[in-house]
Amino acid sequence: MGIQFRKVSHEYSFGQKGFFQAINNITLSIEEKNEFICLVGHTGSGKSTLAQHMNALAFPTSGEVEIFGSIVSSKRNKKIHYNDLRKHVGLVFQFPEYQLFEETVEKDIMFGPMNFKVSLEDAKTEALKAIKQVGLNETYLKRNPFNLSGGEKKRVSIAGILAMNPDILVLDEPTSGLDPQGKRQLMDLFKQIQEDTLKTIVIITHDMDLVYEYANRVIVLNDGDLVYDGNEEDLFHKEELASWSLNVPSTIRVLQRLKTQFNLDINPFQKTVEQASLELKRGMNR
């Protein structure tokens, strides 16, 4: 099942003024289970538009998207209950913390499931489960969401999506605005959720350090075109990186500088500071 894009294009039109081709002839497949995908590309490359097609928030101008067996195309199909389809794929927008609005964290988390006609009692059970999943304890449920820190608010808004129990989780720049340790904690949390539930997670991000460390598949968009779909290791060996407006991860950049400066026999492709320093120690003994 999962999600299949078949030759999907999407144009935004501006009345008489013309149109903007946001994504162009995209074909790709996202498995239902066990993927940790980072979706990257410069601003305006079509990442958010692509993400919105994953749960039928946007409809293709041409081509089709198959979401858990239902075909979404430019023509609305009355037989498809789009809301049911959206239960399969949970989409977390950028700055989800701005969307919190209830008096308590519990009510906020319950809002989604209640919208999908889950009973009050079941919604409460889901809220309790979800708050623990995002690494907060149950005392948070009675707190006012507006008195939480930025990182806590993000976690609560993600709990709201988890409570709907989607099969696939799509997050649009979840770490932006967080301090470095907050970023890492949130990425660790996604990794943990993915390992515990085997749910596929798709993350939109600009941070290549996080992509290199966490992703096991990277999808690159450039001016609406799919230009790379593969593993994180091969991506950073590509010569086209700069032309796709992508940075080289910091660890690789630092090790490449050292390698050149001191003519070292080391492999600069190391994901973490710990791995980089181990490689340098090995290099010293070579």
Catalytic site residues? Answer: 173
Tokens of 106: 């519990």
| Pick 115 or 262: Cβ nearer another protein | 262
Question: Please, are residues 202 and 51 in contact by the beta-carbon 8 Å criterion?
Answer: yes
* Cβ neighbours, 10 Å, residue 17: 7
CA separation for the pair 243, 239 (Å, rounded): 8
CA separation for the pair 12, 159 (Å, rounded): 32
| Pick 4 or 256: Cβ nearer another protein | 256
Minimal distance, residue 46 CB to another protein, in Å: 13
CA separation for the pair 201, 190 (Å, rounded): 8
Minimal distance, residue 149 CB to another protein, in Å: 4
| Pick 9 or 176: Cβ nearer another protein | 176
Minimal distance, residue 146 CB to another protein, in Å: 11
What is the full DSSP assignment across 231-275?
A: -HHHHTT-TTGGGGT-PPPHHHHHHHHHHHHHT-------SSHHH
Angle at 207 between CA 211 and CA 268, to 5 degrees: 60
- Least Cα distance to 209 among 248, 170, 259 occurs for 248
CA separation for the pair 85, 89 (Å, rounded): 7
* Positions that interact with another protein (CB under 8 A): 42-44, 149-151, 176-182, 206, 209, 245, 247, 250-251, 253-255, 257-258, 261-262, 273-274, 276-277, 280-281, 284
Minimal distance, residue 192 CB to another protein, in Å: 20
- b/e 231-244 (16+ beta carbons within 10 angstroms → b): ebeebbeeeebeeb
Q: Is 114 helix (H, G, I), strand (E, B) or coil?
A: helix
Residues 6 or more apart whose Cβ sits within 8 Å of residue 136? 152, 155, 156, 159
